[in-house]
Amino acid sequence: MMTITLTLNEIVTIVIAVAVVVMLGYLIKLLKTLTETAQRTNKILADAEIMSRIAADKTEKLEGVADDLVEGIGIVSGLIKGNQSYTKALTNVVNSIAGIKSILSDKDSGKKSSKNAKK
């Protein structure tokens, strides 16, 4: 029969080698998970960028419509006082309503395009 003799130094070296192999396995798994997380984060950030761009566009359009609406209301109140022409007041009110309608229709088309983008 054969006897195998190991010194304490050899046992410690074997244990350290096994620990290093196990740690490498965990490190590989961690890097794979980290890569997947980074890819998902990039997708989320791209979606957030699209949403902020849409919100900024809507805000700019809404500012213009609000200005037109305020001007139209001012003209209507001036008309009541007899200071402005009826045609100009009516034109501004119609333009304001058209602006609001275009924002609402853009909002609906934005929902449709975001649904199509998700597919």
Counting residues of the chain whose pLDDT is more than 90, the rounded percentage is 39
Q: What are the pLDDT digits (tens) for 41-76?
A: 999 999 999 999 998 888 888 787 778 778 877 777
Q: Where are the domains of the chain?
A: 55-105
pTM across the whole model: 0.47
Alpha helices in the chain (DSSP H): 8-81, 86-118
- Residue 80 in contact with residue 104, Cβ under 8 Å? no
Residue with the bigger pLDDT between 76 and 19: it is 19
